[in-house]
Structure 1
């Protein structure tokens, strides 16, 4: 886009290129040419002040001509002629500005056509199959939410709506297993249920830490097939569990698959996606997680009675089996094959993914053995061994080839320690603000307050979560990462306070509204931003170890919330009387998180590298 602006400038000054039509200029909302001329004589264009989001969206064809023009004009800066550092003034004329926008429009049109030509049906198919892994992560995370009281024998049914009552009663006899082989419920205490729920996150932690080495040494495809096997076995064990320990074992196995999927699938998607569409397809991981949560909450709305809850778990086994079969038709990552000595097959596979008419040579030439090894090591995290990778501004320690830093090295090095503190802090904040208390326990939490609509409200929560995740995806690039984090934390903290007040004093409608705003504010920043910032706060030599710290903090914090939320909630309710007091605690934790982010987390938007983020000019050895 910068080149387009420059070319448009030069053509506007001395070239002979047709100007934009009056209709387009009118669409841009400029009132008169004379007024624009006066504005442009006082201001000069400063390219560096244009937000990166605007540049990217113009290049990809997602920004209209009028919006592009308004973005340009809204970011022009007045020159301080007395300043020695002020840039040399370059005055736009109406014609030159028109040519600049015309060039942007041409780039946008080419971007749309290029985007469509890059995406093939085969590519969409293999990515859809791969993202069934993260989808199951979301599915298993929330699968016990709606039927909790039925599974633990506290209730025989959860009436989700009056119109379903007759259907529930007529279906009850069919729920019982033949000859009493499977009980309708599994008696367990609140602490035991919390353990069953939280063991999923322990499995996820182990799976995530093992996934990097497995996918690096054996390939992305075998690793994904291993996760599918964990999902299948885990879901089957859960479905037929008659004892608490069997249900916990199934959750543990499913957690292994879920944790591994969160590492392998994003890596696989980034390696098979066209370079210009990696951001688009990369977002599918988070979207698929939310689809899984929505799916299991919807099933829970209809199947939380008798032994029908087992069909919820069986649905997870069905999705896992479908993925296992689908992976038989999915190719290995071309980049991984090229890095492991099979460039001919890698190129043929890439050509099939891109389409026969697509020129893949530009991607093939970028397959460098040492760079791919460095990339693979970044995903290994905790278990990675130091290997040579290309140097970066923060990794040059001697004339020898730089090494990939390990898990403990980044903590010991004062250069990287602030980044580790930042990523661990925001990951802990993500969980300690209480999002999983809603995802995992919303039905039991709101059941007595909203006995008719609590399960339906949970579905609405999942819809809001999915919709807001998609809608808010551009915000970190528009507003900045730190701004989104603070907005999200303050919004969630306020919603927690309102939710606690509403539950304690029995204000039903206010509690429902507070829950929806709570989830919506999570999607603004605390949902997507922590995963973005891990790779922006350090150089390439430390990205893998930083991601390991990020991942470890996420799963440990998730385990703490899943394990202790019901216990702390019950203790506070018994001590203070009533319900909902725990959300005052979440509000206080949100306030502490906001202070931490304000002081210890830097802004990364628009920064070239980690050195610029931290304001460094040299190593601090």
Structure 2
């Protein structure tokens, strides 16, 4: 007998749904894979390691690509430029052409990018491959959560929605593990070549993935489209499942019932021989208000720039952008993207082994922390996360500067663990809870934009600032004092500008104001 909580999660879950979940989450998996793929083999790729003794091997194969620290930082960071473009374009594209076509296109970008990276012999080709993979990754972060929310059973959408973040962390752990074994000579290309296999596997498996039934019903509000959508849903839920209640929530469902009623009246009239004098009035459902009432009650959609110019939404915009920047400037990607090179020789463990452990801690903590935002509150999790990460940053800097290696190892693990408690998942939850439905789309766009801009800034300038501080102050580790300072600023910002949304029925209650009348 399964526990009640587990029964609730597994209710309505079929083997076919599990297959769909596995296939579509290969998108976020590849996001994590490509985000961290250059971490372990950095020194080998850039010809700065004794494990890559020759630029051109005896067989004529380029074993490494000479590049400076600034050039490598650029190659790493252009991934986030592609991610920003992919994230902003994916929303309108999948709304118009469907979730399935959008996912198929992302897998094409992943294939093309991985091929370019694997066979690159110059910085330019490697960067082009990174941009292409970034486009696929950015799009996947938008499309896949949307698809999962539309095919998962209603009572467990939150649980399965967490699989997006979990598979990102699985991708990071996977590529760090490959990096440990393959970061020598020209074998680093096998790490990048694995991306080709992943993307090709997803592209082939997407042949067996159906379009989102919710999107079909909303996009084509015809009886044929609704029948097709219902067949898809029935297949996902199982042939014996009752899907009537779920279908009733789809756009156009109520109108469809009225249309069928009208057709029934028309057919009856024709059978009675009085077709020439038919005047049919649609029966009004007691559950639906009159059309005029709907139009008056509906708020106009707020656009991307409308969010900036309207003072009503400005506090939410400031909070969202601040949260997204805090997520990155507290330093998580300094560990995810550069830990092997950064921590080499500073800790009691081999830095590649420690990076694998870090990735595993990140994955496990993310899974264990998933219920916390609902139990403790969003703001509480953010405060715990940023204080814990800031403290870990300070201790990490102190221990590296003064050579306390065991404290360094513990600090870097707690640094990653505290990120997963709040700064990792909560910003994406808050982006949709600080505003009403009329402004959710624009707010999400600003959130993704701020996130990728902040990620780019850290990826591009962190190695340069780290080198400059080390040269100026002597030794290593000073940059983590800077991250600790940013954590202090983030804590102050969260305290004054970020409200608690947990348990609040809408954005008006969150901000303690009366509903806006337009």
Asked if TM exceeds 0.5, the reply is: yes
State the match for 2:275 in structure 1: none
State the match for 1:347 in structure 2: 230
**Structure 1 residues 451, 518: closer, same or farther in 2, change over 3 A?**
closer
Query: Superposition pairs for residues 121-140 of structure 1, below 5 Å?
Result: 121-140=15-34
State the match for 2:282 in structure 1: none
Displacement of 1:334? 0.5
Distance 2:204 2:162 in 1: 24
TM-score, normalization by structure 1? 0.74
Displacement of 1:339? 1.2
State the match for 1:179 in structure 2: 59
Displacement of 1:413? 1.1
**Structure 1 residues 569, 617: closer, same or farther in 2, change over 3 A?**
same
Distance 1:536 1:367 in 2: 22
Give me the CA root mean square deviation. 2.2
Distance 2:358 2:474 in 1: 27
Distance 2:294 2:48 in 1: 62
1:146 maps onto 2:40 in alignment: yes
Query: Which one of the candidate residues 484, 488, 491 is aligned to 1:591?
Result: 488
Q: Write out per-residue CA displacement over residues 224-279 of structure 1, whole angstroms, 9 at most, x where no aligned residue.
A: 00000000110010000000000000000000000000000000000010111101
Query: Which one of the candidate residues 185, 188, 201 is aligned to 2:80?
Result: 201
- In structure 1, runs of 5+ residues without a counterpart are 1-60, 63-107, 159-171, 372-395
Displacement of 1:414? 1.2
Distance 2:407 2:8 in 1: 48
Distance 1:425 1:319 in 2: 35
**SS class of match (2:296):** coil
1:190 maps onto 2:84 in alignment: no
Distance 2:31 2:157 in 1: 21
Distance 2:322 2:241 in 1: 44
Displacement of 1:474? 0.9
Would you say the 8 A contact 1:430–1:527 is kept in 2?
yes
Displacement of 1:404? 1.4
**SS class of match (1:179):** coil
Displacement of 1:177? 6.8
State the match for 1:333 in structure 2: 212
State the match for 2:449 in structure 1: 552
Would you say the 8 A contact 1:176–1:306 is kept in 2?
no
Would you say the 8 A contact 2:79–2:131 is kept in 1?
yes
1:303 maps onto 2:182 in alignment: yes
- RCO comparison, higher one (Cα < 8 Å, 6+): 2
State the match for 2:164 in structure 1: 285
1:522 maps onto 2:419 in alignment: yes
State the match for 2:251 in structure 1: 368
Greater Cα shift, 211-220 or 396-405: 396-405
Would you say the 8 A contact 1:223–1:264 is kept in 2?
yes
Query: Superposition pairs for residues 94-493 of structure 1, below 5 Å?
Result: 108=4, 112-113=6-7, 115-157=9-51, 179-180=59-60, 182-341=61-220, 342-369=225-252, 399=296, 401-450=298-347, 453-493=350-390
State the match for 1:562 in structure 2: 459
TM-score, normalization by structure 2? 0.89
**Structure 1 residues 115, 467: closer, same or farther in 2, change over 3 A?**
closer
Would you say the 8 A contact 1:176–1:307 is kept in 2?
no
State the match for 1:387 in structure 2: none
Would you say the 8 A contact 2:348–2:409 is kept in 1?
no
Distance 1:620 1:507 in 2: 60
**Structure 1 residues 607, 619: closer, same or farther in 2, change over 3 A?**
same
Q: Write out per-residue CA displacement over residues 353-408 of structure 1, whole angstroms, 9 at most, x where no aligned residue.
A: 0000000011111111499xxxxxxxxxxxxxxxxxxxxxxxx9993743211101
Distance 1:487 1:450 in 2: 26
Distance 1:608 1:616 in 2: 13
Q: Write out per-residue CA displacement over residues 303-324 of structure 1, whole angstroms, 9 at most, x where no aligned residue.
A: 1100010000001111111101
Displacement of 1:178? 7.5
**SS class of match (1:118):** coil
Distance 1:114 1:478 in 2: 18
Distance 2:328 2:339 in 1: 15
Distance 1:451 1:600 in 2: 40
Would you say the 8 A contact 1:415–1:620 is kept in 2?
no
Distance 1:449 1:268 in 2: 43
Q: Write out per-residue CA displacement over residues 385-444 of structure 1, whole angstroms, 9 at most, x where no aligned residue.
A: xxxxxxxxxxx9993743211101111111111001101101100000000000000011
Would you say the 8 A contact 2:348–2:406 is kept in 1?
no
Greater Cα shift, 504-513 or 346-355: 504-513
Distance 1:452 1:267 in 2: 40
Would you say the 8 A contact 2:469–2:479 is kept in 1?
yes
**Structure 1 residues 350, 177: closer, same or farther in 2, change over 3 A?**
farther
State the match for 1:3 in structure 2: none
Q: Write out per-residue CA displacement over residues 175-225 of structure 1, whole angstroms, 9 at most, x where no aligned residue.
A: 987831x31100000000000000000000000001011101110000000
Would you say the 8 A contact 2:434–2:510 is kept in 1?
yes
Displacement of 1:452? 5.7
**SS class of match (2:59):** helix
- In structure 2, runs of 5+ residues without a counterpart are 255-292
Would you say the 8 A contact 2:347–2:406 is kept in 1?
no
**Number of corresponding residues:** 477
**SS class of match (1:305):** coil
Displacement of 1:292? 0.1
State the match for 2:284 in structure 1: none
Displacement of 1:464? 0.2
